[in-house]
Amino acid sequence: MKTLSKRWLLRLIFGSLSSFVLFFVLFMVLIAAMFAGLNDKKGGGSDCDITGSISATGNFNKDTYQQAWTKYFTSGVLKDEADYTIKAANKAGVSPALFASIMGHESGWGKSSAVRNQNNPSGQMSGSNIISYPTIEAGIDATAATLHNLVVERQLSTVEKLGSVYCPVGAANDPTGLNASWVPSVKKTMLEFGADASATLATTCNSGAGSVGNGSAIITEAKKYLGVPYVWGGKSPATGMDCSGFVGYVLMQVTHKSYPQYTVSLESKGTMLFNGGKPVMSELKPGDMIFYGDHGASHHIAFYAGDGQVIEEPEPNDVCHIRPYKDYEPDFAVRP
């Protein structure tokens, strides 16, 4: 009996120990999976955490932002663009609250003629003309590029500083003096979108803006302009683009940096591949710039889109399109 009791006791102990070890291992696997999921949601650090610390807000709360968005934008054409606007603001390195407030004031909360008919949500102008964009998302991206330039590059990091350039009091296009209310109005609505408008406007998180890095981002941006007509010398989707205007414009939208929009000038804007020789298609990556003609005298440029395809603005009487790489192979390639 004593021997049986000892065996029973040993089995009980080892059985309990095995169960504990199994439970512990499963628990650790679960914890690891949770952290991995969090990292995936944060994009491996490549994008801002929309609930994290932002210098314009102290803490940016998406729920507060969404409530304000619903309150102000529901009856306009921007009603479904809350999440896209947050992503665009984070990539530009500016406060989403600032972004939303400016778009609201400039577009009549999504109801103005410019945003409804020209996809222009923020009063973007060329001279005295309102700029047209092919989609509302393209207009939001253009807003992001402008705010990145003003807030991040030029350090206009308070509403007052930004307003002196974006909406200056006494401007020729403001004969009735409405611009005087821009700063207090933007600050007021920024608070409703979750920001402390007395703080600086740039975000504290590292969004990776200003570096191409991700070729898929280039192609994603480039595809927004499929169907835009080829126009010799054109540099904007609003008026049409030629091959180099298209490539330069896409790179500026992705990086928020200045790029030339001339074929030869773009030859030096990256790393020369294949020692400047004929590209090997299987070794190209999406987003690589491909050139046609001799170095210093190239006459056409496009992006390699991956999967044996090219995206380009081709020639007069045609539109931005995707075609097989083999139809017209390049002479050299540069990785931006």
CA distance 178 to 231: 37
What pLDDT, on a 0 to 100 scale, did the predictor assign at position 41?
30
**What size, in residues, is the chain?**
336
What pLDDT, on a 0 to 100 scale, did the predictor assign at position 113?
95
Among the four given CATH numbers 2.60.40, 1.10.530, 1.10.3210, 3.30.70, the one describing domain 62-192: 1.10.530
What CATH number is given for 215-335 in this structure?
3.90.1720.10
Q: Which residue has the tokens 């044996």?
A: 308
276 neighbors 295 (Cβ within 8 angstroms) = yes
Between the CA atoms of 108, 111, 115 and 121, what dihedral angle is there, to the nearest 10 degrees? Answer: 40
What pLDDT, on a 0 to 100 scale, did the predictor assign at position 5?
47
For the chain, give the percent of residues with pLDDT over 90.
45
CA distance 282 to 190: 49
- What rounded mean pLDDT belongs to the chain? 79
What pLDDT, on a 0 to 100 scale, did the predictor assign at position 199?
61
**Which pTM does this prediction carry?**
0.46
Domain ranges of the chain: 62-192, 215-335
Task: Go through 8-24 and write b for each residue having 16 or more CB atoms within 10 A of its CB, e for each that does not.
Answer: eeeeeeeeeeeeeeeee
In order, the DSSP letters of 193-231 are: TT--TTS-SB-SS---TT----HHHHHHHHGGGTTPBB-
What pLDDT, on a 0 to 100 scale, did the predictor assign at position 291?
97
> Which run of H or E residues covers position 324?
strand 321-324
What pLDDT, on a 0 to 100 scale, did the predictor assign at position 165?
82
Cβ-defined contacts of 234-239 (< 8 Å, 24+): 235/261, 236/126, 236/131, 237/133, 237/134, 237/138, 238/126, 238/131, 238/132, 238/133, 238/134
CA distance 132 to 121: 10
For residue 241, the cross-strand partners are 230, 235
* Two domains, one topology: 62-192 and 215-335: no
What pLDDT, on a 0 to 100 scale, did the predictor assign at position 226?
96
* 209: Cβ contacts below 8 Å, ≥ 6 apart: 91, 92, 93, 148, 152, 255, 256
Which pLDDT tens digit goes with each residue over 254-267?
888 888 999 999 99
- Cβ count near 281 (within 10 Å): 15
Q: Which residues of the chain have pLDDT under 70?
A: 1-61, 170-179, 196-200, 202-213
Which of 178, 195, 200 shows the shortest CA–CA distance to 105? 178
Task: Go through 161-194 and write b for each residue having 16 or more CB atoms within 10 A of its CB, e for each that does not.
Answer: bbbeebbeeeeeeeeeeebeebbebbbebbbbbb
* 30: Cβ contacts below 8 Å, ≥ 6 apart: none
Which pLDDT tens digit goes with each residue over 276-322?
889 999 999 999 999 999 988 899 999 999 999 999 999 999 999 99
What pLDDT, on a 0 to 100 scale, did the predictor assign at position 121?
96
What pLDDT, on a 0 to 100 scale, did the predictor assign at position 43?
32
